[in-house]
Amino acid sequence: MFTGFVSFCLVSSALSQSAEAAHQIPLIEVEVGKNVTLQCPVTEKDGKFVHWFKQSPGYIIQTVATGSYTKQTLSEEFNNGRFTVSEGQALYFLSMRNVQKEDEATYSCQYGSAYSQTFNTSVYLAVNGKLCDIEQRSVYVKQTPEAVSVHPGSSVTLQCSLFSNNNENRSECPDEHRVYWFRAGSGQSHATIIYAHRNYSQKQEGRRCVHSLSKTIQSSSDAGIYYCAVVTCGEIVFGEGTQVETRQKWDPVIIVLGTLLALCVIVIAVLILSRD
C-alpha cells in the first residue's frame, strides 16, 4: 500500500513539475571503473522520506533506494555491493563503486513528507570510456599449483588467477568475463571442456581475481593437464595448466604381507649365515 502511495506521489510530482519551465540538470562525468557519490541536500529530516530513482534513456524509471530519514534500503536490483546509500548532517548520499557504462542515467532524489514529495535533486551521470579499452591486452592468467598428485577418491582444488598488467590499483574483478576449464588426458589429441561459469565463484585478492575449481579425482581417467581459459573483452587468455596425477593407495593387507615376507627373507638369510 505504501509503495502504491509513493508511486502516486511520484506521478503527482512529475505532473505538477511539467507545468513549470524546463530546467537543465547538472552533469557529472566519471570514467569507467571509478567511484562516484551523488548528494541530495535537505533542510530537515524529522518525519521525512527520501527516494533515489534512476532514469536511463529510453527506459522507465527504476527505484534505486527508498526509506525514511532513519533508514534507507536499496532495491533488490541495486543491492549488489556496488551501490550504497547513507546520510549526513543535512545530506543524503548515493554512492557507486566501479562505475559501468550501464550506470549512465539521470539520478533523482525525491524528498518530502508522506503527503507531499518533490524531486529535490536530479543529475545526469555520464560514463566515459569502455572497460575493454582499459583491460584489452592487459591481463594474464596464472594457474596454481603447477602439479598435484592425489589418491583416487580425493578432492583437488585448482586456482586460476587473472592478473592486470597495466592497472595495479584496480580493486574489482572484471564484470564481463567467462572462465572455462579444460582437461587434456593422456593419449587425447584435444582438450575437453569440463566446466564453465561467468562472474561467480570469484574473489578479489589484491591485484588478482581468483577463480577456483574443486574436483574429486575418481580414478586415473580423471588425471591429465587441467587448463583454465578466461574470455574478456573478446580475447581468450589461457593458463599454462596444472598437471593432475593419481597415486595408488597401498592396501594394508599388502603392506603387512610385504613386511612379513621381508622378515622371512631376513630370518632365512641369518639361518644360512649361522650354519657357515
Same structural domain for residues 110 and 205?
Answer: no
Q: Which domain holds residue 203?
A: 139-246
Query: Reduced to 3 states, what is the DSSP secondary structure of residue 22?
Result: coil
Whether 121 contacts 39, CB under 8 Å: yes
> Which residue's C-alpha cell is 540538470?
25
**What is the average per-residue pLDDT within 59-73?**
84
Same structural domain for residues 108 and 162?
Answer: no
Q: Is residue 147 part of a domain?
A: yes
Higher pLDDT, 193 or 41: 41
Q: Is residue 260 part of a domain?
A: no
In this model, does residue 81 exceed pLDDT 90? no
Q: Is residue 257 part of a domain?
A: no
Segment holding 256, helix H or strand E: helix 252-275
Q: Is residue 122 part of a domain?
A: yes
In this model, does residue 183 exceed pLDDT 70? yes
Number of domains making up the chain: 2
Gap between the Cα atoms of 229 and 213, Å rounded = 12
- pLDDT value, residue 84: 92
Higher pLDDT, 213 or 94: 94
Read off the C-alpha cell for 168: 595495479
CATH number of domain containing 242: 2.60.40.10
Query: At which of 128, 160, 180 does a domain end?
Result: 128
Q: Is residue 264 part of a domain?
A: no
Higher pLDDT, 59 or 178: 59
Gap between the Cα atoms of 60 and 213, Å rounded = 40
Segment holding 249, helix H or strand E: none
Same structural domain for residues 146 and 198?
Answer: yes
Can you name the residues that pair with 210 across neighbouring β-strands? Answer: 161, 203
Q: pLDDT, tens digit, for every residue of 189-223?
A: 566 777 666 444 566 666 677 888 888 888 888 88
Higher pLDDT, 234 or 13: 234
107: left (phi over 0), alpha (psi -120 to 50) or beta: beta
- pLDDT value, residue 255: 63
Same structural domain for residues 103 and 147?
Answer: no
